[in-house]
Chains A and B, each alone.
Chain A
């Protein structure tokens, strides 16, 4: 069965600093990978996705992620964090035979200090 691990439960960064959120997946074939963000009291918003091709993908709000097959990782990065980026971030994996079903990581709570 596929699984997703987000090693960092909580990360605190200063506004303007760079950010990297880690995500590791377990799946035999090439997975479909997603990053979502959730603000308090709201649903999930898609930041970016990877299906195939270029391993560096660009998303909304200045986020990017890099797929590294050798490390089974799909880490999310942002060069300069804004206070409005404070939220919970979820990595998710899907696979071709599972339709729309996603397996989510535990989430990483991001706090941004002024």
Chain B
């Protein structure tokens, strides 16, 4: 069974641009969550999507948004990029997003802002 796939693995952008990251969950998983990982703030929850609906949201500005498609694939968008958005963005999936189901993580997208 293929794992969680995130594309692209690396991205370089400049301030003010926008970026879209993609996540394909494990087949059959309907819940997709996104996390931001930085040296200063650690791992922080961005949001979770289930059945194409945002079900949970972390404490990030509105520049961070996402969506989920009918095949459970998810995209995350960041607009008006800032230097502080440089991070590893991790996607995780689980069958139904229940709290007692382990999350399966992808290898992440490394976003660098110049």
Contact = CB atoms under 8 A, between A and B. Distances in A.
Interface residues of A, number: 27
A99 B56 contact: yes
Given A32-B99, A42-B107, A49-B102, A100 B92 contact: yes
Contacts of B44: 104
A55 interface: no
B31 interface: yes
By secondary structure, the B interface counts as strand
A100 B43 contact: no
Contacts, number: 72
Given A43-B108, A44-B90, A45-B105, A98 B99 contact: yes
A101 interface: yes
A100 B74 CA distance: 15
Given A99-B48, A100-B56, A100-B94, A43 B99 contact: no
Contacts of A32: 99-100
Contact of A100 (B6, B31, B90, B108): B31
B56 A101 contact: yes
A76 B66 CA distance: 34
A19 B56 CA distance: 36
Interface in B60-111: 90, 92, 94, 97-108
Interface of A: 32, 34, 36, 41-46, 49, 51, 90, 92, 94-107
Interface of B: 4, 6, 31, 33, 35, 42-45, 48, 50, 55-56, 58, 90, 92, 94, 97-108
